[in-house]
Structure 1
Amino acid sequence: MATPSGSGKNRGPIVDPGLCRCCRSIKKCRLLTAEYLWNGEKEIYSDMFMDCFGLLLSHLDGDSKECCICAACVSRLRDACAFRRQALQSEEVFLSARLETKQGLETKILLEVKQEPPADDNDSMGADDVGMGEPDLEEQDPKSEPSASDPSDADYKPRRNKKPGRRQLLAKMNKLRDKLDHMMSATEAVAPKREKIPRAKKKESLDHDNMMYNNAVTIVQNSYVCPFHNRISNYYCYYCKDQFVNPIELRDHTLSHDPKELFESMMENKKIPKIDITRIDCRLCPDKIDDIDTFKRHITNTHGKIIYPVDNEFLKFRLTSNNLACTECNSVFPYFDMLKKHMIDHFGTYICDMCGACFLEQNSLRTHIKSHNKVEANFPCEVCGKNLKSKYSRYLHVATVHEKKPTVNCYKCEASFLSYAQRNKHLIEVHGDKRTFPCKLCDKVYNRRKTLMEHNRRNHLKVYRHQCDLCDQRFYLPSRLKEHMATHTGERNFRCEFCEKSYPRLQSLQEHIRSHSNDRRYKCDLCNSAFTQNGSLKNHMKSHHQGYDLDTSFS
């Protein structure tokens, strides 16, 4: 199914799944004949095949699922085209250097010709000789050569001047000029066929990031846009990292910082920032402006600031307390992390060569690539032996569990706590926060935002990243995948301590243990019968209370 990756800023359709015509893999692909935007340049992959290899691919007008190319092959095609351009540019530079060398040699010869040869005893020429015409350059000097009739010098051979004469120099110069003219004519015949545009494009590409960076600095420093960081659906001040849940509080707080003193120095590695454009307006005059393009024209024409001809200097958002709308296509999302994930469809320029996943930032792509080469690493606690997934997790475990150090800080004061639950209680009692987080897609309510996000990712976004190698089932947690693998291998690793029964899943074992403890938590509202398992209650309702709507009574 081909889905567009943007509306106003169309970056080309994505086909999932599609057949790659280059490696025959079936995965998320792009169309060979569609136009895409990469690093500020447009590219059509079928044209790139023709330009680079002279290869005309067939049947590109048929089913879109069969006219595709995967991200890995796109990367290799780009490398091939870049290598071709590099070879052409190197050849052009080589010919230019050869011509410059020849021209320099010709100039040197001309300078030598223009210099008068110094007068000496063996070769003297007066001013009158110059006016009378050129002498014979091979003429012998009678003063320096003995007579041939002298018997003592019978074997003597006439000696020529060691320095070349003027006619000899002119002959050499004419010969070099002929060679140079031949090379220049050959180069002029080839040069029009060579692409000089790629060199200009390369320079433009190298400067593109700097132009985006300079635009972002100019816009933020001269407007009221609000840069910010985020983690899940929490917002953080770009300058002091204070945490906010309400975007209105974030905007009011950000006004206390001066962007002209802080923003440029705090842009990490010229990384594209996230900007709230709920309020833009001009800081230099009272004009009210609610559109970035309008602000660019205003700041250039009215205040003489330099704005370069590039777009997408940052990721634009309009932050609201409830539903969030995409600034590109007006799609609405209940949570910021869902909106941010959607923005990849518009601006996802960083592509994983192994799986085709797209990302907004290069750092996110690097982190993702590490997951392909992930090695299971355990960091055991030296006190209790528990395995943690990272050094930081082990540090938090030791600090909170064994050393009882408060590691959870309140973002509204300097208080610290041992757990997030204690901090939430502090926020309610001291700061008057409402720590209830209802799900906007169902009727669930949670007292922690992180728990709500976990519920959202598991039940509504269906973020199942752990797939079984033997079937198509996916799971949210790796532990659930490990339990599922037992259904393929027949292993029953969860054994009851009260009897000899064993189960492939921990949940099945826990339900079984209730039968030993007589924990009859599932009660019938009609006859007060109680059961240890939910499945037993449902069977009871079907057999004893037929016609009763189970969905209205049990979830």
Structure 2
Amino acid sequence: MDSAIMVESLPIFGTCSLCLVEGVVKSMLIKQITENKTESYTDMLLKCFSIDMAALDLDDTKRLICHMCIKQLESCLEFKEQVEVSLKTLEETIQFKILNDLIIKKELDEYRPRTRQKTRKKTLSTSKKKVSYSTKRQADLSDTEKMLQSGLFPFKINKNQIYSCAICPEKSAILDDIKTHIMEHNISNISLAFKKMLSSNLQTFYKSCQKLRCKICKTEIPDYDTLKRHITSCVNSSSRWNNLPFKLEKDQLDCPICKKTFLNFVSLNTHMNVHYPNHICDSCGKAFASKARLRGHMRTHEIGDFPCRYCDAVFDRVTKRENHVSKEHKSGIRYACKRCNISLTSFYARQKHLAEVHNEELKRYKCKACTQSYITPGHLSSHVRRDHLNERNHKCSKCDLAFYTRNSLKMHMIKHDGERIHACNICNKSYQRKKTLREHMRIHTNDKRFVCPVCGRAFTQKCTLKGHLKVHDRKVDLVDERIPQPLHSI
């Protein structure tokens, strides 16, 4: 059966990571197309302000950005690129002017009399520092030329394995392209970029005489071929990139490894822990793709006294306190009706309120495998995994049964080791579940709510009605056997 899912788009409500304002937001991790370039808002933030969201101690699923911050970020990035182009043009103009003045001065010196070319001793003594500086600069430029001839050049390696120019914002996933681009810069700028490589955290190599030296293993890199092999072996093996591969499409999100389908990016992002178990919890053995996720999970094991900052309630775990705050103190703010300003406890409650009270026609999440549709992506996701994918991750340790939810398993375990704590106050019969006791009480109140559609008899228990219906099935079979079969002519 085809279990693919078709989801109609709904706005995402959350808190913007940049201005902390709650409202309609977007994920900062999803690629955006701007001026024929595909980049995420995290890339734009890194390029504009040198802020690396992946390096911050934040929950991976809370990197969100609102519409107002998107406009400001795009405006800042556009202004930054404008400034860089202007300064580069201005620098090249000045350098051209200086070079032109030197040529003119040299031509004039060739026509001057020899007497005027003599300089005073005082002038020579004061110019020693300038001569030594000029000599050192010439040596640096000579080293730079030799390094460029051997294929070595200044560049940066970002966490997403993207190479960038050490002089301007140019980026590429191919090292050869960056090498070709660097050669277009002025040799003085390239020499200065070589000097800055030692102090930059984004540069894995630094200049050592006329070679590059790896910051990780201290190996000297003499030429371009050695550089490429070293990046493949040493740099890639020593660096832990936190980026995960995602396949983002318009209607649905698929895992690129196991092809499993998800309704939202949060679920897909959490699922990637299965394929990238880089960090394991020592307490329970669960694995996570990044240290940030493991740190967030470790909070579930903390035990102590955690008071609520809004009321006098105290909880023994941090997660219980956060659930309490989200449900009791912040749910009304987040899930408020736009028409009557009533605070609702959840997204589902607000959608149900809009449909029942205001007769609003809601967008529904449709299942492509059957005719069912739901008003929340969570309900559709549960339907697909439970009914179509037959997902049963919670297995009983005492029998072969498995269940979709942890609560269903908990109710099932009562059959194995549960006590009969729910007793009837009329006949003293006891049951393991309170629900079973309520069904038993119908016997004493003569509540016969289950009516046979064939003969009209009523029963107090649904299971009794099911047993009674089998009687009608047997009668039909007996009648069919008594009907004489027609004779067929040969």
Normalised TM-score (structure 2): 0.43
Bigger RCO of structures 1 and 2 (CA < 8 A, at least 6 apart): 2
Return the index of the structure with the highest Cα Rg. 1
